[in-house]
Structure 1
Amino acid sequence: MHIHQKVLLVPMQPTPNGRMHIGHGGGTYLRADVIARALRAQGHEVAVITGSDVYEDWVVAAAHREGRSPEETCRDHHAGIARDLAHLSVELDAWIDPSGDEHRDAYRQLHEDVLNRLRATGAARLESERIPFAEDTGRALVGPWLAGECPNCGRSCGGSTCTYCGEYFVPEQLVRARSRIGDSPVQWRTEQNWFATADDPHAIAERHRAAGLRPVFLAPLLRALDGHGGRVRLTGQGEWGIHSRALPADKVISNGYFLYSVYCGEVHRASTGAAVNPFTPGSGVTTVGLFGSDNSTPGLLVPDVIAQGSKGTLAPFDATVVNGMLQFEGHKCSTSKRHGIWLSELLEGTSVSADELRYALLHAPLDHGPADLSLGALTDHVNALRAWRTAVLHPALADVRDQRRPVRRAEQALKTAAEQYALLTPYSPDLTAAVRVFDDWITGAHALDAQWLVGVALLARPLLPELADEVWTHLGFAAEPTLDQAEHQEPLPRQSPPPTTPPPTPLDPATLRSYVHIQDPE
């Protein structure tokens, strides 16, 4: 990417059916924050905007479980998720509640306008499909109410996506479909809903190949294109969701990730005073979608299908960042199944800091597929960082402060930082490779002088922001570390004292055991 580009990153909206676990933190949201910080360090103008997915049926399921209304559930978890992200040092420029007074009407109107546009262009078609209903209650068994086996890999799944292989399906494709909320027999009914299909499926596949999407993440998209030509849902059965005057009362507009992102673009346009939404073709803003591999259809297919059907009024994401699913102790982290470690409990209830947790999560190679994190590995990474700070970093900071000599141009630090930032673009990023660059720098055969500390700050900037700020401040620089500042600006005289906070003691895995939630995800 060229210097001084405008970039909008939209990490997929989390569902407010609970607080965030380490799978959330280590995947999409950490990637959005790391990439944004790397781009800003190079001089780009970057915004990160998202919000909670309040119109998801999983909210209704959580409300039922918690014994309160869906509205109360949304408000509580929406605020809690914002706190979780802040505790992990994930910075957002806007955090949207689509059901709140500020956004409700405009959010619904955008979805209705796009549906009407697709109907007007002929891209949207009313099609018949078979939908399962619970015979005893008459509830449509969609989303959290539907269980069965994946038609592609045969694993247990539900809703419309397999979290194991990323397969997307409609209810009638689910093998041995059954109700998740009781033993009621399933009754199949024929319903009509709006769908859109890709005008040019081949072009969609080639666009993502050309953008560098890794084969492991491309595979579910290719299956969807080959299996049904890129057919995506525009409306569905539901009582909780985005209702429209143009739809029957028992139908809702699909609350998809792409139109959520387009609405984030509207928020970006309003906040920056831009003339057009970033998703308008030729807007001058690079749009980046970030999501997990279990959302391949919403993230990779739907944007192109809607953009093709809009006939020039919308453009898909310019770049997409897909991460594999993080497993904890051998099973996928899950909010609904209470499996994992919750960010609020770990970062508020233990001595583990945001930097330390980020450091551990960065070593899980999710940019190449699923990865597993054990409690032992988490503890080892935290203790390794603590030991290095105590034995190496803090003495180096004290030595440099005592010397009080100006920092010479750190040629090798600038070169290494540029190499690391090249791993953190929105096109096929590799966060684990980036943290290896940091690890090599802090443990390599370098003189532990001011030039080395410049490298520590620049390389830590995207990954461990608290550490980067600490080092940068002690070097006498103002603001946050950037390549331009390191290359051209003289640091201020170093007057800051060395760190006085006693170093934390090594972390014992036993102290974290009470924060671990283990449940059979099947």
Structure 2
Amino acid sequence: MHIHQKVLLVPMQPTPNGRMHIGHGGGTYLRADVIARALRAQGHEVAVITGSDVYEDWVVAAAQREGRSPEETCRDHHAGIARDLDRLSIRLDAWIDPSGEAHRDAYRQLHEDVLTRLRTTGAARLESERIPFAQDTGRALVGPWIAGECPHCGRPCGGSTCTSCGEYFVPEQLVHARSRIGDSPVQWRTEQNWFATADDPGAIADRHRAAGLRPVFLAPLLRALDNHGGRVRLTGQGDWGVRSGTLPAGKVISNGYFLYSVYCGEVHRASTGAAVNPFTPGSGVTTVGLFGSDNSTPGLLVPDVIAQGSQGTLAPFDATVVNGMLNFEGHKCSTSKRHGIWLSELLEGTSVSADELRHTLLHAPLDHGPADISLNTLTHHVNTLREWRTTVLRPALDRLREQSHPVRRAEAALKAAAEQYALLTPYSPDLTAAVKAFDDWIGSPQVPDAEWLVGVALLGRPLLPDLADHVWTQLGFPGEPDLRQAEQLEPLPRQSPATTADLLSAPLDPATLEPYVHLQDPE
């Protein structure tokens, strides 16, 4: 499918209830960064915009656990997550705090305007539903406050989505529902909330099929369409969230991923001076949503339902990139259960670099479903890359400094890079195949000469940006590795030789990582 010269990628907003673990880093955010870098290398104008999901009840749960206010919790983890992404070389064009002074009013107003629009068009309907409450406190047991078994697969879950199978459900569908905040009995009450349902469920499924969504990620969407016709929530119970004067006390507007993305579109419009939001039909900007498979309903269903109900004022994502869940040592990485390796601890407390961690995570085939990595896997990939840098790359760069003739047009490198970039479009990307293409190139039997180094830089740019930039600079090119510049092959005179000491690293001892490994058996 066609990609416009202007592209906006919106990775799903992380919840600021803790710092980022390798499951976060290796999934949605790494995909956004890799795809953006590949598109930029081909000349597209790309922006990656997201922010933290401050209006999520998991923030309140974290605040109670940490003994401080939700506002303090948001501010602290919002800043910490930004540092985590930066340490992993994830480049963002804007990092939004919807509760901050710069965005609070406009963010609330956008949600209120869309809800009003859906009411006006008749797409929004007030419906009755059964909601669980804690009998002793009267708190609505939604989000982090409720647990039970998934109505589809039977696995333990909570909130409104099963992280095992991706099934979305309303509270009354949860099997054996129980409170997560004590032993209080669950009391069911009938409440009224606003919902919207797809006008044409079949068109939603057909659109995602045509966009190349893989069957493993399409399945939860098809179940949702079959089971309830594409019904999505617009308001819900709660005190922490997007409040509105149009709703009674104890109700908030659903802080969904799609309207968050539309707000990111407003930030993009303001920063670029564009006439319309990228989510306006015919905007000329390709919009890309990126999220984990446990968010199939917010990412795949809600955008189409709201777009259909808006009657031409909003368009859904042009492309969606879904990744499976990353397991570490056999269990899903989890902030609330403290299971995994945290990016801040690994990248700040050990010798593991951003490139080395990215190289490891790229080998987990999350574009095809769930995957697992272990401490041994991490150590193996880090040491393999370190040995190659020492025994192959460094000597090649040393020989480059002695070379006096210009770099010839690197036909093989250009061909390999073009084939790799074709794997990194927003339509059915395959990052594991892309890193295999890089591995095949750096391990190829050809002579590691200047033209080979061009390939290292071009194929490495989306995946290992620090290494690629270093090689590109040594070749004498300005800026970042770029296909068009490599095609012209008119490098500037090479810079003074830079030190290659950074290419030399001792083998990683897994014992040095063990203090940073958190293992807790999930419920």
- Tell me the TM-score range normalised by the shorter chain: over 0.9
Instruction: Look up the match of 2:319.
Output: 319
Instruction: Look up the match of 2:42.
Output: 42
Paired residues for 1:376-391 under 5 Å: 376-391=376-391
Instruction: Look up the match of 2:122.
Output: 122
Once residues 500 and 373 of structure 2 are traced to their aligned partners in structure 1, the CA distance between those partners, rounded to angstroms, is 33
1:2 Cα deviation from its structure 2 partner: 6.2
Instruction: Look up the match of 1:72.
Output: 72
Residue 487 of structure 2 corresponds to residue 487 of structure 1: yes
Paired residues for 1:105-120 under 5 Å: 105-120=105-120
User: Is the contact made by 1:88 and 1:358 (CA closer than 8 Å) also made in structure 2?
Assistant: yes
Residue 277 of structure 2 corresponds to residue 267 of structure 1: no
User: Are residues 298 and 193 of structure 1, via their aligned partners in 2, closer, same or farther at CA, if it must alter by over 3 Å?
Assistant: same
Paired residues for 1:203-222 under 5 Å: 203-222=203-222
Residue 7 of structure 2 corresponds to residue 14 of structure 1: no
Residue 185 of structure 2 corresponds to residue 180 of structure 1: no
Bigger drift between 496-505 and 59-68 goes to: 496-505
Instruction: Look up the match of 2:340.
Output: 340
User: Is the contact made by 1:394 and 1:498 (CA closer than 8 Å) also made in structure 2?
Assistant: no
Match for 2:266: what amino acid? E
Q: How many residues align?
A: 522
Once residues 207 and 123 of structure 2 are traced to their aligned partners in structure 1, the CA distance between those partners, rounded to angstroms, is 20
What runs of 5+ residues in structure 2 fail to find an aligned partner? none
In structure 1, the residue corresponding to 2:466 is in which secondary structure?
A: helix
Q: Note the alpha carbon deviations across 1:172-229, whole angstroms, 9 max, x for none.
A: 0000000001000000000000000000000000000000000000000000000000
In structure 1, the residue corresponding to 2:255 is in which secondary structure?
A: coil
Match for 1:135: what amino acid? Q
1:500 Cα deviation from its structure 2 partner: 3.6
Paired residues for 1:17-416 under 5 Å: 17-416=17-416
Match for 2:508: what amino acid? L
User: Is the contact made by 1:165 and 1:294 (CA closer than 8 Å) also made in structure 2?
Assistant: yes
1:489 Cα deviation from its structure 2 partner: 4.0
Q: Note the alpha carbon deviations across 1:348-371, whole angstroms, 9 max, x for none.
A: 000000000000000000000000
Could you state the TM-score of these two structures normalised by the residue count of structure 1? 0.99
Q: Note the alpha carbon deviations across 1:418-452, whole angstroms, 9 max, x for none.
A: 00000000000000000000000000111111110
Match for 1:516: what amino acid? V
Match for 1:50: what amino acid? T
1:113 Cα deviation from its structure 2 partner: 0.1
Once residues 44 and 139 of structure 1 are traced to their aligned partners in structure 2, the CA distance between those partners, rounded to angstroms, is 49
Once residues 5 and 500 of structure 2 are traced to their aligned partners in structure 1, the CA distance between those partners, rounded to angstroms, is 40
After TM superposition, which residue ranges in structure 1, 4 or more long, deviate above 6 angstroms?
Answer: 1-4
In structure 1, the residue corresponding to 2:501 is in which secondary structure?
A: coil
Q: Note the alpha carbon deviations across 1:389-426, whole angstroms, 9 max, x for none.
A: 00000100110111122111000100000000000000
User: Is the contact made by 2:409 and 2:489 (CA closer than 8 Å) also made in structure 1?
Assistant: no
What runs of 5+ residues in structure 1 fail to find an aligned partner? none
In structure 1, the residue corresponding to 2:164 is in which secondary structure?
A: coil
Q: Note the alpha carbon deviations across 1:148-175, whole angstroms, 9 max, x for none.
A: 0000000000000000000000000000
Instruction: Look up the match of 2:509.
Output: 508
Once residues 423 and 50 of structure 1 are traced to their aligned partners in structure 2, the CA distance between those partners, rounded to angstroms, is 24
Match for 1:193: what amino acid? N
Instruction: Look up the match of 1:463.
Output: 463
Once residues 491 and 406 of structure 2 are traced to their aligned partners in structure 1, the CA distance between those partners, rounded to angstroms, is 7
Q: Note the alpha carbon deviations across 1:337-390, whole angstroms, 9 max, x for none.
A: 000000000000000000000000000000000000000000100000000000
1:495 Cα deviation from its structure 2 partner: 3.4
In structure 2, the residue corresponding to 1:357 is in which secondary structure?
A: helix
User: Is the contact made by 1:221 and 1:296 (CA closer than 8 Å) also made in structure 2?
Assistant: yes
User: Is the contact made by 1:130 and 1:189 (CA closer than 8 Å) also made in structure 2?
Assistant: yes
Identity fraction in percent: 86
Once residues 404 and 258 of structure 1 are traced to their aligned partners in structure 2, the CA distance between those partners, rounded to angstroms, is 54
